[in-house]
């Protein structure tokens, strides 16, 4: 199996800890290793033939620095000159892999997801690889444990195929709570994790069908044999091709249109950690629902608060359901229910050209 890790996100919802040059996947949200490092380490026991990390030019240096300790592993870092969403990144990776082996199975993994049960995760990936060898586009569908309205859902058919995957009936946008409750009760709805497994010739064929412009651009790439530093050898071609590409997500561009999509049910404790608010779900809050990620804490009658204090003492007095993130030059104090609006702060910083804080 080849692993493709999508690490080019520029997420702004973890501001002020996440910055342009250090987005969520490069952050050490949980202390210790970054989410990217955890993502790479998580697949190493699978002994993948190759790990391809697709990032962007801005973050390439920090990405390489963070993975330097794994330099004995077969890791290639591909830097996109500009971000064009997931379809071009996946198409590029598939094209590179196909030059060597069109039958290869590749897994696509976001670099910034949280996974609790790593063994179960790897077992699921292996099941998905088997399903992919049937010629399907396989998605990992997370078994929902609550009526979450922050994720898209996948509706699965009733009968599994020979590999235990179910045909995907439809993809559903983030639902209202009533729908989410129905999906949870129905039992055949899964969260769309953004993790995919397929043979490279299959995804490239689907791109020919549904994203012909992208496919045509990718076909013009002349992938040289890998003599050591493939990313550097490819960089000029990638640079030339990317400028012409349109932004397109793999979900809209391919998955929702393709006919041969199946879903492998997955249950390994997953979160896309989409905002500060998601952290208490995956960390251990105290009895009052507080999570102190970093720093020394003093709490007087406060509850439901997430605190990142760096190396600072943070005292909370009589406050409820707050997100408090203190960094060297910026402090965020945000109502937990408004965690999605942290990106608006970043927008305001951009408008005011306060680039030091971006």
Number of residues that bind its own copies (CB under 8 A): 35
Given a contact cutoff of 8 angstroms between Cβ atoms, the answer to whether 271 and 30 are in contact is no
Residues whose CB is less than 8 angstroms from the CB of residue 223 and which lie 6 or more positions away in sequence, other chains included = 95, 96, 99, 230, 234
Distance CA 43, CA 39 (A): 7
The window from 116-124, 130-138, 204-212, 335-343 that contacts its own copies (CB under 8 A) reads 335-343
Nearer to its own copies, 1 or 324 (CB): 324
Applying CB under 8 A, among 16, 66, 70, 229 the residue interacting with its own copies is 16
CA distance 358 to 354: 7
Q: Token pair for residue 302?
A: 């406060």
Write the Ramachandran bin of 206: left for phi over 0, alpha for psi from -120 to 50, otherwise beta: alpha
Q: Is 335 in the site for its own copies (CB under 8 A)?
A: yes
> Using H for helix, E for strand and C for coil, what is the string for 274-304?
CCHHHHHHHCCCCCCCCEEEEEEEEEECCEC
- In the list 178, 286, 337, 350, the residue contacting its own copies (rule: CB under 8 A) is 337
Candidates 68, 119, 173, 329; binder of its own copies (CB under 8 A) is 329
Considering only residues 297 to 326 of the shown chain, the ones binding its own copies according to CB under 8 A are 298, 300-301, 309, 312-319, 322, 324, 326
Nearer of residues 16 and 144 to its own copies, judged by Cβ: 16
- What's the first-to-final CA gap in the chain, in angstroms? 37
Nearest to 323 by CA among 307, 301, 345, 303: 307
Residue 348 contacts its own copies per CB under 8 A: yes
The distance of closest approach from Cβ of residue 170 to its own copies in the complex, given in angstroms and rounded to an integer, is 34
Rounded Cα distance between 98 and 65, Å, is: 28
Candidate ranges 157-165, 193-201, 260-268, 341-349; the one touching its own copies (CB under 8 A): 341-349
Applying CB under 8 A, does 334 fall inside the site for its own copies?
yes
Residue list 262-301, contact with its own copies (CB under 8 A):
296, 298, 300-301
Cα 167–Cα 172–Cα 176 angle in degrees, nearest 5: 145
Q: Please, what is the minimum distance in Å from the beta carbon of residue 311 to its own copies?
A: 8
Distance CA 304, CA 53 (A): 36
Q: Does 182 bind its own copies (CB under 8 A)?
A: no
Sign of CA dihedral 227, 104, 245, 249: negative
Q: Does 353 bind its own copies (CB under 8 A)?
A: no
Binding mask 38-77 for its own copies (x = CB under 8 A): ----------------------------------------
C-beta of 278: minimal distance to its own copies in Å? Answer: 16
281-287 contacts: CB < 8 A, separation 24 or more?
A: 282/114, 282/116, 283/30
Kindly state whether residue 332 participates in binding its own copies, applying the rule CB under 8 A. Answer: yes
CB of 319 to its own copies, least distance (A): 5
357 binds its own copies (CB under 8 A): yes
Q: Decide: is 344 part of the binding site for its own copies (CB under 8 A).
A: yes
Comparing CB distances to its own copies, the nearer of 45 and 310 is 310
3-state DSSP assignment of residue 311: strand
**Chain position carrying tokens 């790439």:** 221
Smallest CA-to-CA distance from 2 within 67, 37, 60, 53 is with: 53
Smallest distance from its own copies to CB 143, Å: 32
Interface residues with its own copies (CB under 8 A) are: 15-16, 296, 298, 300-301, 309, 312-319, 322, 324, 326, 329-335, 337-338, 341-342, 344-345, 348-349, 354, 357
């Amino acid at each position: 199996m080849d692993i493709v890790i999508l690490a080019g996100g520029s997420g702004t919802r973890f501001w002020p800890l996440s910055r342009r040059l250090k987005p969520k996947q490069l952050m050490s949200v949980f202390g210790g290793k970054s989410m990217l490092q955890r993502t790479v380490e998580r697949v190493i026991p699978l002994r993948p033939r190759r790990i391809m990390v697709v990032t962007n030019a801005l973050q390439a240096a920090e990405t390489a620095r963070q993975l330097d300790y794994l330099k004995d592993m077969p890791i290639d870092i591909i830097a996109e000159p500009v971000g064009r969403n997931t379809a071009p990144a996946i198409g590029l990776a598939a094209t590179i892999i196909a030059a060597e082996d069109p039958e290869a199975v590749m897994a696509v993994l976001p670099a910034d997801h949280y996974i609790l049960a790593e063994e179960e995760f790897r077992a699921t990936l292996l099941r998905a690889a088997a399903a992919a060898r049937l010629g399907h586009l396989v998605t990992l569908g997370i078994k929902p444990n609550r009526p979450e309205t922050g994720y898209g859902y996948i509706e699965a058919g009733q009968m599994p195929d020979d590999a235990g995957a179910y045909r995907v009936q439809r993809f559903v946008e983030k639902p209202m709570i009533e729908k989410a409750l129905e999906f949870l009760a129905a039992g055949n709805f899964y969260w769309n994790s953004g993790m995919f497994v397929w043979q490279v010739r299959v995804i490239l064929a689907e791109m020919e069908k549904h994203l012909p412009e992208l496919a045509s651009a990718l076909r013009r790439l002349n992938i040289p044999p890998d003599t050591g530093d493939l990313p550097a050898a490819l960089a000029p071609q990638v640079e030339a091709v990317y400028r012409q590409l349109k932004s397109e997500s793999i979900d809209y561009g391919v998955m929702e249109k393709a006919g041969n999509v199946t879903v492998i049910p997955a249950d390994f404790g997953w979160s896309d950690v989409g905002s500060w608010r998601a952290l208490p779900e995956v960390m251990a809050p105290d009895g009052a629902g507080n999570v102190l990620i970093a720093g020394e804490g003093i709490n007087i009658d406060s509850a439901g608060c997430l605190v990142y204090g760096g190396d600072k003492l943070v005292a909370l007095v009589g406050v409820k359901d707050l997100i408090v993130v203190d960094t060297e030059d910026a402090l965020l104090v945000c109502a937990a229910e408004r965690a999605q609006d942290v990106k608006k702060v970043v927008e305001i910083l951009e408008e005011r050209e306060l680039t030091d804080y971006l």
